[in-house]
Amino acid sequence: MESPEGPLQEVRDSPAGRGGAESPAAAHRRSFDGLRTNGELGTEKREPRAATPRALPHELLHQNHTPRPDGSTGIDAHQVHSRGYASTFVKKILDCHVDLHENQHMTSRMSKFKRSLELSWVPNPITGSAAVFLWGARQTGKTTFLHDRYPEARFYDLLDTTLSAELSVRPRLLREEVLAESPRIVVIDEVQHVPLLLEEVHWLLENTCTQFILCGSSARKLRRRSRNLLGGRAIDYHMLPLTSHEIGTVDLPRALQHGTLPVHYLVDDPAPLLKAYVHNYIKAEIIDESATRNIPAFSRFLQIAGLCHGQQINYANFARETGVSAGTVRNYFQLLEDTLLGFTLEPWRRRKKRRLVETAKFYLFDVGVANHLHPEARIIVEGSDRFGWAFEHFVLNEVRAYLSYERLDHPISYWRTSSGFEVDLIVGDMDLAIECKSTREIRAADLKGLRALNEENTPRRKVVVSRSENRRTTDDGIEILPWSDFCGELWGGQLL
């Protein structure tokens, strides 16, 4: 009679499961014959590991919260801010490592976003094991995504300080539990907190058919404290802020003001959460990892990075303003990239006639975080320069996310001549040239950059993304698209 638990019960009924001579690793490999090996993450049903609840501070649990329309209770960001205890509330939550996904009301709202990211792999042809790294800045929704997509996986949440401490002392415990329980999928969340676990994961990949999802907000600590990054056995994926495709009907002013980190986009007043986000980043990623000893200088650098977000990087100016060397400033920028809080946009360098600018630009990863770090952008006014920069950042993030999620190996850059002609974004080898204009009417002057570019390189498609209501095409082939049409065609695969 076939066991109701399938292959995993067969392992328990094998000589190893009955205490015989067969090793646990051999039994685990033997069970692979009954499991899926088609290259996608398995979905076999089994009892999920119960999450260990972590309590909020006593005084927060006993607040008299205002009921929400759906009958649930809790403090939202606006209530926190208006009552004047925002900093205390946020710090206590962060210090207790309470994830926003544990707020059931917020989790249910976040779960409505169908994320575009799909994780897949090619299993080891001998063992059937495989691994992926899922990287993403804090609060991009990695944990919620993994719980929603793989509810039956065996989860190790290393934000649980008790579990993290136990595995730090006895990393072999991971091996013992996996061999004993034979889970199909194992998720290790915030894996950078216990780098030694990668040695155990490596062994399990060689000796079992387990598939691992290793999730984290920074590979920096893993590179610094572990020599083992699985030797090319794990595929890298990245979770980025929400996209228009995931949100559905986008409230553009909200997206440009709040940013598109899921919680920040959903709340009415994200200011307290944005403030906490930046402060928590400095604490967790800079102080705790000892990435730099000069925290005041880095804090000044971060403020200037917010002011210069989306502009060409001038290392000498940054060094002068922060009081450190240009080399240190370069390290600070690298630190932001390593912790997934920013990225550089390289210039297009293949010159034909015009002399080109060869200085990279730097962007913070989220529109809302960039706004918070800029003193003039806390409230963005339509028609202002900051509104235009936020709109450009929004479009750039859409393209980055599409290329990442679709696994398209197209470099992105910007094109600028020494005389001042500029095109905001070049995708691939001139496959797509994009100019972003936040205005509702596009004039001839707005097309000068694309026309200058077309004289030298002839892009396959030339597009202006704007807030105009209707689409049109000029005589020389420049397409003027409403931003919603652009996003629709991008995610529909019609642009690239």
Cβ neighbours for 75, distance < 8 A, ≥ 6 positions apart: 60, 63, 65, 89
Per-residue tens of pLDDT for the chain, all 496 residues: 433 333 333 333 444 443 444 444 454 444 444 443 444 444 443 344 444 333 333 333 333 333 444 444 443 433 333 333 333 333 333 343 344 444 555 555 666 799 999 999 889 999 999 999 999 998 999 999 999 999 999 999 999 999 999 999 999 999 999 999 999 999 999 998 898 999 999 999 999 999 999 999 887 777 776 666 787 789 999 999 999 999 999 999 999 999 999 999 999 999 999 999 988 776 666 666 555 667 788 888 888 988 889 999 999 999 998 889 999 999 889 888 988 889 999 999 987 778 999 999 999 999 999 999 887 767 888 989 999 999 999 999 999 999 999 999 999 999 999 999 999 999 999 999 999 999 999 999 999 999 999 999 999 999 999 999 999 999 999 999 999 999 999 999 999 9
Distance, CA of 338 to chain centre: 12
Residue 150 lies in a domain: no
Model pTM score:
0.79
3-state percent breakdown (helix, strand, coil) of the chain, nearest 5: 45, 15, 45
Across-strand partners of 187?
155, 213
Give the pLDDT confidence score for residue 105 in this predicted structure.
54
- Helices then strands, counting H and E runs in the chain, come out as 22, 13
Residue 57 lies in a domain: no
According to DSSP, residue 65 is labeled P
Residue 84 lies in a domain: no
Domain total for the chain? 2
Tell me how far apart the terminal alpha carbons of the chain are, to the nearest angstrom. Answer: 53
Kind and range of the H or E run holding 74: none
Residue 355 lies in a domain: yes
Structure tokens at 242: 């929400």
Give the pLDDT confidence score for residue 222 in this predicted structure.
76
Residue 238 lies in a domain: no
Give the pLDDT confidence score for residue 226 in this predicted structure.
64
Burial grade of 177 (CB within 10 A; 0-12, 13-18, 19 or more)? middle
- Note down the domain range covering 287: 244-491
Residue 466 lies in a domain: yes
Residue 452 lies in a domain: yes
Cβ neighbours for 297, distance < 8 A, ≥ 6 positions apart: 322, 323, 324, 328
Residue 218 lies in a domain: no
